[in-house]
Amino acid sequence: MRYRTLGRTGLTVSEVGFGTGGVSRLMAEDDREAQLRAVRGALDRGLTFFDTAAGYGNGRSEANLGRALRALGAKATVSTKVRLGPEELADPKGAAIASVERSLERLGQESVDLVQIHNLIAPRREWPIGLVLDPADILGPGGVLEGFRALRDRGKVRFFGLTGLGDPRAVREVAESGAFDTLQVYYNLLNPSAGHPVSPGFSALDYGLLLDRAAELGMGVLVIRVLALGALSEAPNFLGFVDAPPPLLSPGSEYGRDVQRAARLRWLAGREAASLAQAAVRFALMKAGVSTVLCGFSGEAQLDEVLSASGADGLPEEAMARLARIWSSDFARDR
């Protein structure tokens, strides 16, 4: 395992982080022995960064992660998140404080290293998916930022972060306030627009080099959805999404469409990397400015496959040139 600095926080984190979201199921369910094995396996392999949220399994992910870390006596960097519902927007500051306090109780910790906003961000709270905040809900008087600062003053959190989903211009506005230390960025082989220019006809949401801008601002960059919910794997339906489509985070990246797009990248497996998943993680890690790539794990086989990308070479120039042609041609025709 190799390590990187999490932007201006100065924290050193493993370049692959352990995501505990409900999509990967393990940490949001009730198999404590399997959870303990997975967390122990991650720690033994050098992972030091664990990312959870109040919304993962209605708090179960936090409770299960905290229990496992305590049982193992582990010292790790831990991040959690706040997602406000419509009924809480009359008092974003108070709601953020209360959410973090509940998270700390579930984690069994006095403080966390990083607390992040989990809502999408868009002007006037208007966006086709997700629970949405206007930038003013965050930066304005009585906003989430004031709540985070109050928690930091009490020693409950150290650093603040954003989930970079929603309207890319609104996300950039909040990031450029300088008040936040990290940004979670949607970035993968199927939608590279946060870190690579794409054509005007690109079929997914164009994040407009948001990753590069975050790095310029000194923010730590946490890559999310690097495997596109498993579309970028050898068994894209292993999570059973055929009958129950997963939650959509980014318009234009519906799971079924991503599976079709990923089929055009199968040449990466065996030729450029041991597997398509490994190629996807190597692609993310080769990007300047990336601090860590978050992956969900449900077993040791997945751990070993993904972690084999840490320290590996980036994809060769010929492969990147071929990918650029696919992004500007084939993916542009997906509309």
pLDDT for 24-34, tens place per residue?
678 888 889 99
Angle between helix 300-307 and 32-44 (nearest 10): 20
Residue 242's pLDDT is 47
Give the list of residues 6+ apart from residue 220 with CB closer than 8 angstroms, or none: 5, 6, 7, 8, 9, 11, 13, 161, 181, 182, 183, 291, 292
In this structure, is the dihedral angle defined by the CA atoms of residues 11, 14, 15 and 18, taken in order, positive or negative?
negative
Mean pLDDT for 116-134 is 97
Query: Domain map of the chain by residue range?
Result: 3-334
Q: What is the pLDDT of residues 209-267, one digit of tens each?
A: 999 999 999 999 999 999 998 899 876 655 544 456 667 899 999 998 999 999 999 99
Q: What is the per-residue DSSP string for 166-201? A: B-HHHHHHHHTTS--SEEEEE--SS--TTTS---TT
CB 205, CB 253: distance < 8 Å: yes
Q: What is the pLDDT of residues 175-215, one digit of tens each?
A: 999 999 999 999 999 999 999 999 988 999 999 999 999 99
Instruction: Give me the percent of the chain exceeding a pLDDT of 90.
Output: 81
CATH code of the domain made up of 3-334:
3.20.20.100
Confidence of residue 335 (pLDDT cuts 50, 70, 90): low
Written as six digits, the tokens of 328 are: 């500007």
Written as six digits, the tokens of 290 are: 């990336």
Residue 241's pLDDT is 46
Q: Cα 149 to the chain's mean position, in Å?
A: 23
